[in-house]
Amino acid sequence: MNAVLRRFAGRRSDWHLNAPSFRLPRPHLGWLGPVAMVASVLVSWFAFSNAQGEDGNVQLGLFVGAASILLMAWSFVLAVRIRLLEPIFGGLDSMYRVHRWAGSIATVLMFWHVQVEPEVENGIRGASKSVADQAEDLAGTGEIMMYILIGLSLIRWVPYRWWRLTHKLLGIPFAFASWHFFTAEKPYANGSTWGIWFGGFMLAGLGAFLWRIVVRDVVMPGHRYTVTSMENVGSVTTLELTPKRRALPHGAGQFAFIKVQHPGLREPHAFTIASSPDSPTLRFVIRELGDWTRALRQVDLVGQDVTVEGPYGTFEPMGSPRQQTVWVAGGVGITPFLSAIDAAAQQPVAAPHLFYAVRSTVDSPIVDRLLAADADGRIVLHLFASSDGQRLTGDELERVFGTNGLRGAHIGLCGPTSLVNAMDAASRQLGASSIHREDFDLRQGFGPDLSIEIADLVSSVRKR
């Protein structure tokens, strides 16, 4: 019993709160998207600043309700994974962090709005009183749905495949809330400038929701590939995919969502593309981390069809030809650099220094490949295996490059958040300013991932 409780409690790091990162302190293009989102909410205050009601909270109550609608709409738009938005949000990893925070804050504001219950005097009705009352009842139902669905999103105890299905229901409470907002009594008419402003956001949010679950998932799911090679070594699976028609163009360090056309493996999962941008095939190096990756290893996928959606990501492993390049990777975070190694060999640049932290070097196809790249001069490898008592810290960067030795260098970071944050800080202390990091985690949330334990429990129940 104690072991079960300890597993549910997880580690302290499982409950760590990761706030959105806008590449502070240097202004960055990735600020533009979040700033525009916040500005769209703040400017909406003026729609209610002159509202009259029974108490002084009517303006604030109406505003927080509208802010909840706007943030939910933004959250749905970001979930569509529009590649044109990536630069102004700092990449898809940052877009998803903002998506999650927008949805969570929208839920808090919705709760606040309901507690205030603002009643407008001499306002303009958006619909007849009977229709508005029905819409308010629907909004109350949507409120309960929102609390449950957001709660499921924040706690990682729920397996990814179940969470993904429940996440698709979030469009229902948003539609209910939007209908209530449209029909309720307000200080402006729906046909006014403010009415068009809020109506545009509501339509954008609903349109994005329908696009995500209908067009993206059914009509245009992505590029079609076939698995031509599959290799399991240790805890790592390597998939080689050949395009059935047009190949997916990608850059070094980008990732894609793959959906395997096999029972139990159909939900999309994001993985970094490990093959060179010039390769006619796609290679994915996948480490066993949950129930899906474990199930992947237990079937022979050679000849199976795979749908690939992407590419995504603004991670830049390579700097300019005049810059010294330093890469830091931890565990499966090595994958964007596997693609970049081949790309770097074709450019007139000095061999990048790669600092790689891994659990063990035994039976690792990745380590063998890195050692080969080091031997032929494509990279300068610094390997740290925790099984041998070796630990990668910022002191290693100073030992190799010296104080201020990274001034003007280009740094690429990918791996566990704790490692990336520590090496980011160490790189800045040594003078680096051009730092690119990849923190992609589709779900995040709080608590340990119990997908394997729950999958084992479901399997044992089915066998009885």
CA distances from 433 to 161, 323, 348 (A): 39, 12, 22
**The pLDDT of residue 350:** 79
Q: What is the pLDDT of residues 100-134, one digit of tens each?
A: 899 999 999 999 999 987 788 888 888 898 999 99
- Quick: pLDDT tens for 308-365: 998 888 788 887 777 888 999 988 888 888 888 876 666 666 788 999 998 887 767 7
Residues of the chain short of pLDDT 70, as ranges, are: 1-27, 54-56, 343-349, 363, 439-464
Encoded tokens for 458:
């479901």
Query: Rounded to 5 degrees, what angle do the CA atoms 206, 207, 211 make?
Result: 120
What φ, ψ does residue 434 adopt, rounded to 5°?
A: -95, 90
Per-residue pLDDT, 319: 75
For residue 228, what pLDDT is reported?
A: 94
Distances (CA, A) of 14 to 9, 11, 17, 304, 320: 9, 5, 9, 35, 37
Q: How far apart are CA 221 and CA 212, in angstroms?
A: 10
pLDDT, residue 77, reads: 96
C-beta neighbour count of 310 within 10 angstroms: 22
